[in-house]
Structure 1
Amino acid sequence: MDIIDELCKKYTDLTDEEIAIIQGMSAVLQPLANLEDADIFIDCPSEDGDAIVVAEAKPSYVPSSYKKTVVGLLAKQENEPAVARTFRLGVATKQMKAVTQENTRTIQSVEPIKNGDRVIGVLIREQRVDEQRQVSERLHFSEQSYEQIANALTHMVGSNNWLTECIDEALIMVDKGGLVTFRNSLARHLYRQLGYIEDPLGQIYENIRLIDSTDDAEDQSGYSVVETSVGRHSLSIKRIQLDSEDMDFAVVIQDITWKKEQEKALILKSVAIKEMHHRVKNNLQTIASLLRLQVRRSDNGETRKVLGESMNRILSIATTHELLAQSGVDQVKIGEVILNIKNNTVRYFARPHFDVSITLEGDDFEVDSDIATSVALIINELLQNSLQYAFEDRETGLIRIVVTRGELYSRIEVIDNGGGYDVENVRTDRLGLSIVQTMVKDKLRGNLSVESGPGGTHVTFDFKNQIMEVAGVT
């Protein structure tokens, strides 16, 4: 109950009475999860338009769609349209697809929780979308050890044959004479898909074997596993020796076609992302090179300064895309971004013979490309400002960059020990300050604070961890 009160008071505008209603609803979540064999959640509307997960219950008898708790995380409008619709219209929403905070696909049904006419929260029933799982209660032999599989199969004969229909893989059992004496319905269905007209039941195993005999031979432990392709299907085939008077061995076949297709798709996506970021980086570097030529040809000091600052801003973005091109995904470690920006800024703006120390402290975690680009520009502007103005008439200086990761918002602090300035009377038309304010407010949807005095300047800004995490649902 305390966590609900804490989250609601921190991220929502709910009254104490409304929070009490939410707390009362949370008491029935676990029985609902067990009754429905589904994940059950309560979300409340946050002040920025998204929703915050304040309570959850996972089913006790079937697998949950979640590996970790999501209490305290955002439910984004674009990822969970059913939740957004119920908040907006105040009516129930049934059977809509959604993308979870762990980037898996689920089906949601949502009911509004009201205080009078006001929607103060939603009750969510959620089950996983998985085309490979026709029945949620099926067992998965592919996830068990050889000893567990062999022991289970030995007991799946006689009066317990019904258990074989709970297996999520095709199962064939072969007797001492090499005859197929048992197969489950998934095995019959799979062989039909592969083009076999006859039922494998009653046939000689040699006539229906799907892999070469040398691959099908079990090792000394009595167990072998082989992956093969049959037509358009990719299969994982296990051969398991059985400790039985009648049965010689069992064959467990898992159709992994969908898995292999997903792996290929991920590889192609990674290559496409690398190429995209590589091209963006090259284009930005070309623009920076053109600006560098303009700097060299200009005799006006102010013009050279403005062009140099613009060139450095472009290079800070290019650096981020270079890191993204190397990773092959649309995420990058924030520490790498900041370190590269630090090195570039020192190279272009530190005065000759000026001894400046720039340290990076705190947490390191992955952010998406949009956050990385915005953070890169902000850090570039703040470091550039410190190097140009904070240490006038000084031979040494210290700048600390402190990164703190939070559940919803993360924070970055840039602290220097320079001479400081009058925050109240600073020029509001300065481009660098305008860039920082715009990026923090409009791009990162965060807050900016500046404190400055004779002991130095302390700039803090925060950003939502998931602001640009948009996933398509098909």
Structure 2
Amino acid sequence: MLKLFCKICSTLTPSDTEIVEQMSNVATILSNILEMDVFLDCPTKKEDEAMVVFHARPEKKSLYSKNISGEIAYRINEPAVFRTFSTGLASRNYKAITQENEQVLQNILPIFNSLDEVICVIIIEYSEKQKEIFDKEYNKKAAAILMGQIDSLKDRVTEYINDAIITFNKDGYATYANKVAKILYENLGKHNIIGESFENLYFERINYNSILENPDSYKMKEINILNYSLSVQCFVSKINENIKRVTLIIKDITEEKKHAEELRLKTIFIKEIHHRVKNNLQTIASLLRLQKRRIKNEEVKKILDETINRILSIAITHEVLSTTGIDQISIKPILDILYGNYFKNNIDKTKKIEFNIYGDEFFISSDKATSVALVVNEIIQNAIDHAFIGRDKGKIEIEIIKNQESSKIRISDNGVGMDLSKNENNMGFLIVNSLIKDKLKGNIDVKSAKGIGTTIEFDFKN
């Protein structure tokens, strides 16, 4: 029918018609990839009329109730089509009225013959709601197809595609294969594609008619053959009501699979390293505990307890990294583990101290997470040791606040308060100040009032 419609146009030579016929393959591929209606329109002898010589209509998402091949397109309804005919320029996102009187957007590409005449246009149509989808899919999948101009049959649009493309006729025999397909099959030991049956070219046992009858079952398949990993898709398109054909699109994903496997092995390796570091730190903490039991001096014991807590605070980051394998860590779980595993083991059981951790969830690097854990450890340890002297209960709150450029952590207690001047030379506060300024590049603010409690707030760059 396509040849008949081209003949009716009365503006095309036999060689022009051959180009238009070849372009029907391109229209079919575009329709399959984008799941949108794609047309070939040719000019007629009437300057305000063009003919739809081919309509590639998607199975499920067509904007049309039927195939409109053979119908007339009018300048008043589709001005961009005639703009492209006269200027030879592509048209993007132009409004149009369809043959079914619906508003659509059109993306149009001119097709030239050897005399540099526009003999045909490829039209992709989509609704306003589909515009975002078209822009995304066009840029992702179809841009390579719609590049350049066609000067001869050898310079076919499909040759610009990085995927292997083979089209089959209604009987299941290959009628076209692009260069990528020929190279791929040559590497697989198959030197002739054109004229071969689908069954001889496909990678598994499958009946051609079963694809025509049930195309959704063969949309995407991953196949490993020799040293190749291939993503294989079968698209079924209607030539007319009675004839269907299959386009086979094969993407070589060998390097992608290798890269994914390398990343997987690297992640496992990183997880194992962090797991061993965590275990080593916990072993050091255990050795210090053994040493502590042999010491009678209470002040030395306290110093060892503080050192053990600092070591375990560092171990927390490696504990999280041993399960994720990535360098970005959510801050809240770090603080939850810090309390759940370590703080509660060092709280005087005669006192009822309530902990509450709340606020924003966000990710920071493992290096920052380690510094934050150490800072919070020192502040909490100081609160446990000094904030509730003479009291049998209290509350400690940790609030996580994420801002645009920097974030902060606010730690408050309702304890007895403290004399800030006496803490300037405290080892814990020296560590806190050093970590915040040198490692986190942030600032610290301490507020305390007798009988009300203490609030310590520090920030760090995101």
| TM > 0.5 fold call | yes
Choose the corresponding residue for 2:237, options 238, 242, 248.
242
SS of 1:421's partner is: coil
Label 1:175 to 1:161 Cα distance change in 2 as closer, same or farther (>3 A): farther
Tell me whether 1:232 sits opposite 2:227 in the alignment: yes
Aligned partner of 2:317 in structure 1 is: 320
Provide the C-alpha distance between the structure 1 equivalents of 2:173 and 2:377, rounded to a whole number of angstroms: 73
Q: Secondary structure at the match of 2:458?
A: strand
Deviations 1:63-107 (A, max 9, x none): xxxxxxxxxxxxxxxxxxxxxxxxxxxxxxxxxxxxxxxxxxxxx
Alpha-carbon distance in structure 2 between the residues aligned to 1:204 and 1:426:
89
How many angstroms does 1:434 deviate by?
A: 1.3
- Counterpart of 2:51 in structure 1 is none
Aligned to 2:406: 409
- Counterparts in 2 of 1:48-87, with a 5 A limit? none
TM-aligned CA distance change 1:215 to 1:307, over 3 Å: farther
Match of 1:182 in 2: 176
Structure 2 residue corresponding to 1:450, chosen from 432, 435, 446: 446
- Structure 1 residue 366 displacement after superposition: 2.2
Do the aligned partners of 2:199 and 2:207 also contact (CA within 8 Å) in 1?
Answer: no
Q: Could you list the per-position Cα deviations for residues 177-208 of structure 1 after superposition, in whole angstroms to 9, with x for gaps in the alignment?
A: 33211122332233344444x25234344433
CA contact (8 A) 1:139 1:168 kept: no
Is the deviation greater in 311-320 or in 344-353? 344-353
What 5-or-longer segments of structure 2 have no aligned partner?
A: 1-91, 93-136, 147-151
Specify the alignment match of 1:99 in structure 2. Answer: none
Distance 2:340 2:208 in 1: 55
1:160–1:218: structure 2 CA closer, same or farther, 3 Å change rule?
Answer: farther
Alpha-carbon distance in structure 2 between the residues aligned to 1:430 and 1:189: 73
Partner of 1:25: none
| 2:141 aligned partner | 140
Unaligned runs of 5+ in 1: 1-60, 62-135, 143-148, 153-157, 466-474
The 3 A distance-change label for structure 1 pair 210 and 344 is closer
1:182/1:219 Cα in 2 relative to 1: closer, same or farther (>3 Å)? closer
**Amino acid of the structure 2 residue aligned with 1:433:** F
Query: Corresponding residue for 1:45?
Result: none
Aligned to 2:363: 366
**Alignment counterpart, residue 166 of structure 2, candidates 157, 169, 172:** 172
Q: Which residue of 1 aligns with 2:202?
A: 209
C-alpha displacement of 1:262? 2.2
1:445, distance to aligned residue in structure 2 (A): 1.5
Q: Separation in 2 of the partners of 1:310 and 1:240?
A: 66
Q: Following TM superposition, by how much is the alpha carbon of 1:407 offset from its aligned partner in structure 2, in angstroms?
A: 2.4
Distance 2:344 2:160 in 1: 65
Shift of 1:344: 3.8
Write the letter of the residue equivalent to 2:427.
L
Contact 1:345 1:380 in 2 (8 A): no
Q: CA deviation at 1:215?
A: 10
CA-based RMSD of the aligned residues comes to 3.0
Distance 1:139 1:170, change over 3 A: farther
Q: Tell me the residue number matched to 2:84.
A: none
Deviations 1:431-458 (A, max 9, x none): 2111111111111111111111122111
Matches within 5 A, 1:10-409: 140=141, 162-196=156-190, 198-213=191-206, 217-218=210-211, 220-223=213-216, 224=218, 225-244=220-239, 248-409=245-406
Aligned residue pair count? 317
SS of residue in 2 equivalent to 1:213: coil
Question: What's the % identity of the aligned pairs?
Answer: 38
CA positional deviation for 1:159: 9.0
> 2 CA distance for matches of 1:139 and 1:319?
41
Displacement of 1:217 in angstroms is 4.8
C-alpha contact (below 8 Å) 1:342/1:383 kept by paired residues: no
C-alpha distance in 2 between matches for 1:408 and 1:192: 55
Residue number in structure 1 paired with 2:109? none
TM-score by length of 2: 0.63
Other-structure match for 1:440: 436
1:211-236 Cα distance to aligned partner (Å, 9 max, x none): 33369953854240321112221101
Determine the C-alpha separation between the residues in 2 that align with 1:356 and 1:139. 56
What is the CA–CA distance in structure 1 between the aligned matches of 2:329 and 2:252, rounded to whole Å?
34
Question: Partner of 2:234: helix, strand, or coil?
Answer: strand
Q: Is the 8 A contact 1:169 1:253 kept in 2?
A: yes
CA deviations on 1:96-149 (whole Å, 9 max, x unpaired) are: xxxxxxxxxxxxxxxxxxxxxxxxxxxxxxxxxxxxxxxx9876279xxxxxx9
What is the identity, as a one-letter code, of the residue corresponding to 1:436?
A: V
The structure that has the greater radius of gyration is 2
